Structure 1
Amino acid sequence: MRKISFYILFCLCLSCQGTKIEQLLRSGSPYEKYLQGLKTSDLKDYAMVRDWERAGKAALSDSNRVELPYRELMRFDPAEPEAVSFLFSANQGQEITIDLKMLSDTSVVWFTDLFEVQKGGELKKLKPEEGGSFGRYPVGSEENFLLRLQPELLKGGLVELSVSYAASLSFPLLNKNYLNIASFFGDPRDGGRRKHEGVDIFAARGTPVLAVSEGRVSRVADNRLGGKTVRVSSGRYSFYYAHLDSQMVAAGSRVKPGDTLGTVGNTGNARTTAPHLHFGIYGPGWSSIDPLYFFKQSPELPDLPVADSAWLKNWGRVKAGLVNLRQGPGTGFEILGKLEKQDLLRIEGQSDGWLRIRLPDNSQGFLAENLAEVADTSLQQRTLQPTDWFKSNWGSPEFQHAAFSGDVEVLGSFGQFDLVALGDGTKLWVNKTGNTN
């Protein structure tokens, strides 16, 4: 009832001022516009607005480490202002892609903010390449990134978040892709005296070589090392095509992705090898850059069964012996701590074989899905005594009350407390040893 009353009040306050969410999102940063709208509405003095802002800030300093591509099923409770964030790395040349699938309430406005984590931990907010909250974010250098997800106030529901990466350039040979690269950036050359400053893709002589991006042909040449070459300048990058059998463009001409620049050959110092294209990318100062990530496509992510979402936001417990709580969803991530059998946890999200969990003390991490179960059945009975100390939730102070007595079902434990279920379904924390205040 409290949640419904707040929602009605929220709608009335906005409608009285002629304010709609669409108006709040009209220009500028959607998140800041929305927050400013809340702070200037009749709700500005209500705790729920402060709690919503506080949740967004807290998520920026309490992130979950993941690797791309990543997909998670998660549920947000409309009654509890909350936000979640994920920390990951990406390579120069990739494009980070963000997709949010709303599986319950499709009317909710969601805020997805991507930040570049700079030196010293400072966050720089990025704008998507395409308009709107979701889109593609080109990666200019190898960096760490933080993604924050938060629904509008008093809204939530079940969503599926997918964070992935895509190629930023088309491939220079038709019907081939990055899996056809045979010699990689950094491979030794001339007995180790130099390193390969590009990638080699083998193909039949005469195969068309295609422009990977829009640009201007800056040079068409023939030299001892690269043989017949074409260079195309495009913004901050210069693309280098070498060992061509023929050149079909002139310096100064404009090209678009897919335009033919020449054909595959083995000219220059490749005369003793099979025909192939040497492709290189150079940045400012003619610094060589690994082309692989400009072409690499993210593997397909497995579907997450929506039927398994029933335990999201419910209490779970460890069903095995001593298990590892990890920083991310995989055995390669750092171990944050150990959990014991019957330890309680809140299930926040579900990915492929892993659960994102939050412990009663508010610490979080990932646990292998097969090591946990929903805490909806009794482990044992316990008889409450008049001298027992209780907590209504983990963060509240302890108290005693004579009304709580008799036999109860123990659902699990954490630290010095058992979580018990009373006959009417009420859940309480009960101190195992006595008052700790």
Structure 2
Amino acid sequence: MKNISLYVLVILCLSCQGTKIEQLLRPSSPYGRYLQGLKASDLKNYSMVREWEEAGKRVLADSNQVELPYKELTRFDPAEPEAASFLFSASEGQKITVDLKLLSDTSATWFIDLFEVKEGGELEELKIEGEKYTSKYPVKSGDKFLLRLQPELLRGGLVELSISYTPSLSFPLLEKSYLNIASFFGDPRAGGRRQHEGVDIFAARGTPVLAVREGRVSRVGNNRLGGKIVRISSGRYFFYYAHLDSQLVAVGTKVKPGDTLGTVGNTGNARTTAPHLHFGIYATGWKSVDPLGFFQKAPELPGSSMADSVLFSNWARVKPALVNLRQGPSTRSMILDKLEKQAVFRIMGKTQGWLRIRLPDERQGFLAENLVELVETPLEQRTIQPSDFLKVNWWSPVFQHSSFSGKAEVLGSFGQFDLVAAANGIHLWVKKQDSPV
């Protein structure tokens, strides 16, 4: 009770000093502040504000799963509240990098939000660094992450999204990289009685060994396994250099990336092997961490073709008899559903020969591009009768009306309905003639 009274007193004092209570409760993210502003504006009672918020929530529960690096060309229709999300894995030590290029409407505001997916599926919003549309986040523990992309209300356009990763440490040997690692974390040692707690990089004896991050020398010593060693303390990590031929720093020395700590050798239990550096990373509590993620650089992906932009938001349909709708752009990705021939959908984005699609019922997934065709050529003709059941869009109520009667072109189907182009050019959903009411 005392704590509650103290809290109320603090609020009252701040109010007397001119501090608004709303400022204390204001969401910290740009997305949250924008949504709060919409709800406080004259637009708060309009359905488009509610639909914009619902679009952002919906994609958090139904995400596309991709592998990094990932690059997609996509277009968001300004007239329709839309959002997209991408689920991916990243390793400790990697720095997630997100880059959004605005290719049409460069004045629009876009929201890029990154979440860590906790056990049980809970989402924890993360604070990402960087400029407006180039963001970075250093991964502190290997896990799953979710990225949400959404433009401001009534804005959109053509954009290229790139999600990748960069190394968070410089490499400990000059003119070498993670591709030169010869023995990896977790490899068996001592006949399988223990595991390798680092990586080995072979190099000529006397090659300079370098600091990978700013820190302080916390130990310089000699032991049976590691031989001549140097240990650097840097924030939540310790960097361990072993089998050195010489040690060139003293305890307490402050170092920066690129400073020489010693030279490559084969001391300790490496006496019978060629000279190499054993490099290890330990987190607080002396927990060993795989160094590979700290050094890896993602391969470059080719740029997108602007010619593909004609596909987006258009209706398309399945060409073969049966295709797999997948969670990600790979034949290794989980199958979400099987779509029959002539099933229709909208194309939302393209990446490396795959199309990200949205079904009429809002579910999303990926189809290989060669399994898809646009609905430019009608499949057949049918006559709409006054007794036919119609929908103007997938979620609208079913109705009957004689004003839509007449010839129509069938473009495809979904569920119990055909998608047709009526004589006046309007797209309608018409219940199939052999489907039950």
TM-score, scaled to structure 1: 0.91
What pairs with 1:27-426 in structure 2 (closer than 5 Å)? 28-130=28-130, 132=132, 134-426=134-426
1:392 is displaced (CA, Å) by: 1.0
8 Å CA contact 2:98–2:133 kept in 1: the answer is no
SS in 1 for 2:404: coil
1:436 is displaced (CA, Å) by: 5.3
Alpha-carbon distance in structure 2 between the residues aligned to 1:409 and 1:120: 47
Alpha-carbon distance in structure 2 between the residues aligned to 1:361 and 1:52: 17
Q: Which amino acid aligns with 1:113?
A: D
Identity of aligned residues (%): 71
Q: Which amino acid aligns with 1:109?
A: T
More displaced stretch, 250-259 vs 75-84: 75-84
SS in 1 for 2:383: strand
In the other structure, the counterpart of 1:7 is none
Alpha-carbon distance in structure 2 between the residues aligned to 1:413 and 1:57: 28
Q: Which amino acid aligns with 1:191?
A: G
8 Å CA contact 1:316–1:374 kept in 2: the answer is yes
1:171 is displaced (CA, Å) by: 0.3
1:357 is displaced (CA, Å) by: 1.0
SS in 1 for 2:129: coil
Q: Which amino acid aligns with 1:310?
A: V
SS in 2 for 1:92: coil
Alpha-carbon distance in structure 1 between the residues aligned to 2:130 and 2:232: 25
Q: Which amino acid aligns with 2:422?
A: L
Alpha-carbon distance in structure 1 between the residues aligned to 2:242 and 2:429: 70
SS in 2 for 1:60: helix
Alpha-carbon distance in structure 2 between the residues aligned to 1:58 and 1:27: 20
CA RMSD of superposed structures (Å): 1.6
In the other structure, the counterpart of 2:14 is none
**CA shift digits 1:96-123 (9 cap, x unpaired):** 1101011100111110010111122211
Alpha-carbon distance in structure 1 between the residues aligned to 2:227 and 2:237: 21
SS in 2 for 1:155: coil
8 Å CA contact 2:416–2:435 kept in 1: the answer is no
SS in 2 for 1:403: helix
Alpha-carbon distance in structure 2 between the residues aligned to 1:152 and 1:427: 27
1:419 is displaced (CA, Å) by: 1.1
8 Å CA contact 1:165–1:297 kept in 2: the answer is yes
Alpha-carbon distance in structure 2 between the residues aligned to 1:337 and 1:55: 22
Q: Which amino acid aligns with 1:352?
A: Q
Alpha-carbon distance in structure 1 between the residues aligned to 2:384 and 2:51: 35
In the other structure, the counterpart of 1:8 is none
Alpha-carbon distance in structure 2 between the residues aligned to 1:221 and 1:246: 11
8 Å CA contact 1:265–1:276 kept in 2: the answer is yes
1:131 is displaced (CA, Å) by: 5.6
Alpha-carbon distance in structure 2 between the residues aligned to 1:47 and 1:214: 52
SS in 2 for 1:34: helix
1:130 is displaced (CA, Å) by: 3.2
Q: Which amino acid aligns with 1:270?
A: A
8 Å CA contact 1:65–1:87 kept in 2: the answer is yes
1:28 is displaced (CA, Å) by: 3.7
Alpha-carbon distance in structure 2 between the residues aligned to 1:36 and 1:379: 47
SS in 1 for 2:32: helix
SS in 1 for 2:127: coil
In the other structure, the counterpart of 1:14 is none
1:320 is displaced (CA, Å) by: 1.2
Provide structure 2 residue ranges, at least 5 long, that are not aligned to the other structure: 1-25
More displaced stretch, 393-402 vs 371-380: 393-402
8 Å CA contact 1:388–1:434 kept in 2: the answer is no
Report how many residues are paired. 412
8 Å CA contact 1:416–1:433 kept in 2: the answer is no
Alpha-carbon distance in structure 1 between the residues aligned to 2:390 and 2:122: 41
